[in-house]
Structure 1
Amino acid sequence: MKDTQNQRDYRNITIDKVGIKNLRYPITVLDRRNGCQNTVATINMYVDLPHECKGTHMSRFVEILNLLCPEVSLKKISDALEQMKKHLNAASSHIEVTFPYFIEKKAPVSRSPGLMDYTCKLTGSSGPDGKIDFVSEVIVPVSSVCPCSKEISEAGAHNQRGEVRLSIRFKKFIWIEDMIKLVEKSGSSEVYSVLKRVDEKYITEYGFNNPKFVEDIVRDIAIKLKEDDNVTWFSVSAENFESIHNHSAYAHIASG
């Protein structure tokens, strides 16, 4: 049959990324407590396309993904990146695997268990030199109490739930759980799925005594990351969904 994708293109324009996007796929990832965890990922896979090529072969991305899944690891992502370049005649390749990750978390006083879900993302890229670049990302909810509101108010202070996005490059494997814990310890207080009244009292008072701006949150995380020799690069942002404003508060830091 005629292969239209293999026809020559005469517009002389290289495409940076072409491929498949938002493919839902069942995967298995490492879980520190249970060994492994089954989840469902949203996957993007791209390669570059030379200026003389009309199109890429989309079905080959899914065929390569079948070799990668269900177990997702840095080694398998690395292999898939090289397979993409080989079978799609590309100089560079790129994979993004985004998935919900669940951790059982106990309330601080009653110890009532509940599942927390966190959005995680593994990104891998391979260039013409064959060097593999990995970035691990987590999105973690936190609670923050406004230091200014506490300072100027005779009673109470406004507080809100926020979201911290942490991305890192690393020398050796790092657990998702460690990234999440680092973020959770940097807010005014942590977020839980199950809380009894004794827990609500504890969290309210703990957060009130530990007020944080978004600036404080990202700076505290940045300090800890700079002290970690395993981290070679990081990006951290915090967004507070303000309870008394019609806008969010935002801060971002990236290492050099």
Structure 2
Amino acid sequence: MTPDIQNERPTQKIDIDKVGVKNIEYPISVMDKKKEMQPTIARISMYVNLPGMFRGTHMSRFINILNKHRGLITQQILKAILLDMKRELKAKSSHIEIHFPYFLEKQAPVSNNKGLMSYNCGFFATLNADDNFSQHFKVRVPVLNLCPCSKEISRWGAHNQRSIVTVTICSRKLIWMEDIIDLVESCASSPLYPLLKREDEKYITEHAYQKARFVEDVVREVAFHLDEIPRLTWYEVESENLESIHNHNVYAYISKKF
């Protein structure tokens, strides 16, 4: 029998809030509104608490648990993973973070050319000492925003930039990522597309000019529409403009609990 060094008493008997494995690349499947299921590659981090009486945790057990639950990621699966983590690692709390690209087929506004657009998404779940389960998800949506001030003061044109709108929500029932993406894109000057021809670029440029948006306008519009979703328990909305004529980005943030 080899010695179990992790179960030795540490020099400093201090509780650790989170210890575990980080950034495991792993194939998963997530629910897709149109196709039922979408395979993707995730980066997964898994943590438990560690009492001060133990020197270390057993890292291999995280991987064993992940292998046991491979496949479709749902709320039920996340809870099962967290329960196994608490049991196998004798922990009071467990946490999991799953980051992955999610793909949607998008059609250009004039040419109708189709392509795949990627969105960075994430699931985050915790099971506390009382076995209370909490989960939220995050989606980052790239959009186009045109500056209202630049439009007002310029004789021709206005500066515009790619923007990243990040929405994090907690809900009592399923909310599709596609619906949040559509909501965000409707609040910006224009959506982005994976494939554009000249006629599409002309349309988007002119469309964005007629729908100028500050970063503040975007977070307020998104928050307004999120307020109309009765299933939410809390949300956060962030918007960051990757400025094209300034040597800095601009940012706005709103959060709300119901």
TM-score, normalisation: structure 2: 0.97
Cα pair 1:39 1:100 within 8 Å, conserved = yes
C-alpha distance after superposition, 1:195-230 (max 9, x if no partner): 112211111111000000110000100111111111
Runs of 4+ that moved beyond 2 A: none
What is the DSSP-based 3-state SS (H/G/I as helix, E as strand, rest coil) of the residue aligned with 2:238?
Answer: strand
Per mean C-alpha deviation after superposition, the further-off stretch among 5-14 and 37-46 is 5-14
Match of residue 209 from structure 2: 208
Rounded Cα–Cα distance in structure 1 between residues aligned with 2:225 and 2:134:
23
Rounded Cα–Cα distance in structure 1 between residues aligned with 2:25 and 2:251:
30
Matched, 1:221 2:222: yes
Match of residue 114 from structure 1: 115
Rounded Cα–Cα distance in structure 1 between residues aligned with 2:68 and 2:109:
42
Cα pair 1:26 1:39 within 8 Å, conserved = yes
Rounded Cα–Cα distance in structure 1 between residues aligned with 2:185 and 2:125:
26
Rounded Cα–Cα distance in structure 2 between residues aligned with 1:10 and 1:194:
59
Matched, 1:52 2:66: no
Rounded Cα–Cα distance in structure 2 between residues aligned with 1:33 and 1:65:
27
Rounded Cα–Cα distance in structure 1 between residues aligned with 2:248 and 2:59:
41
**Superposed, which structure 2 residues align to 1:132-143 within 5 Å?**
132-143=133-144
Match of residue 238 from structure 1: 239
What is the DSSP-based 3-state SS (H/G/I as helix, E as strand, rest coil) of the residue aligned with 1:184?
Answer: helix
Matched, 1:149 2:150: yes
**Stretches of structure 1 lacking an aligned partner (at least 5 in a row):** none
Per mean C-alpha deviation after superposition, the further-off stretch among 56-65 and 30-39 is 30-39
Task: Report how far residue 65 of structure 1 moved.
Answer: 0.5
AA partner of residue 103 (structure 2): F
Task: Report how far residue 95 of structure 1 moved.
Answer: 0.2
C-alpha distance after superposition, 1:117-149 (max 9, x if no partner): 000100000101111110110011000000000
Cα pair 1:110 1:198 within 8 Å, conserved = yes
- Identity among equivalent pairs (%): 50
Cα pair 1:10 1:52 within 8 Å, conserved = no
**Superposed, which structure 2 residues align to 1:63-82 within 5 Å?**
63-82=64-83
Match of residue 96 from structure 1: 97
C-alpha distance after superposition, 1:81-125 (max 9, x if no partner): 011011101110000010001110001122110100000100000
What is the DSSP-based 3-state SS (H/G/I as helix, E as strand, rest coil) of the residue aligned with 2:173?
Answer: coil
**Superposed, which structure 2 residues align to 1:6-25 within 5 Å?**
6-25=7-26
Task: Report how far residue 70 of structure 1 moved.
Answer: 2.1
Task: Report how far residue 10 of structure 1 moved.
Answer: 4.6
AA partner of residue 39 (structure 2): N
Output the aligned Cα RMSD. 0.9
TM-score, normalisation: structure 1: 0.98
Instruction: Give the aligned length.
Output: 256
AA partner of residue 117 (structure 2): M
What is the DSSP-based 3-state SS (H/G/I as helix, E as strand, rest coil) of the residue aligned with 2:191?
Answer: coil
Matched, 1:253 2:254: yes
Rounded Cα–Cα distance in structure 2 between residues aligned with 1:80 and 1:227:
32
Rounded Cα–Cα distance in structure 1 between residues aligned with 2:48 and 2:34:
35
**Stretches of structure 2 lacking an aligned partner (at least 5 in a row):** none
AA partner of residue 234 (structure 1): Y
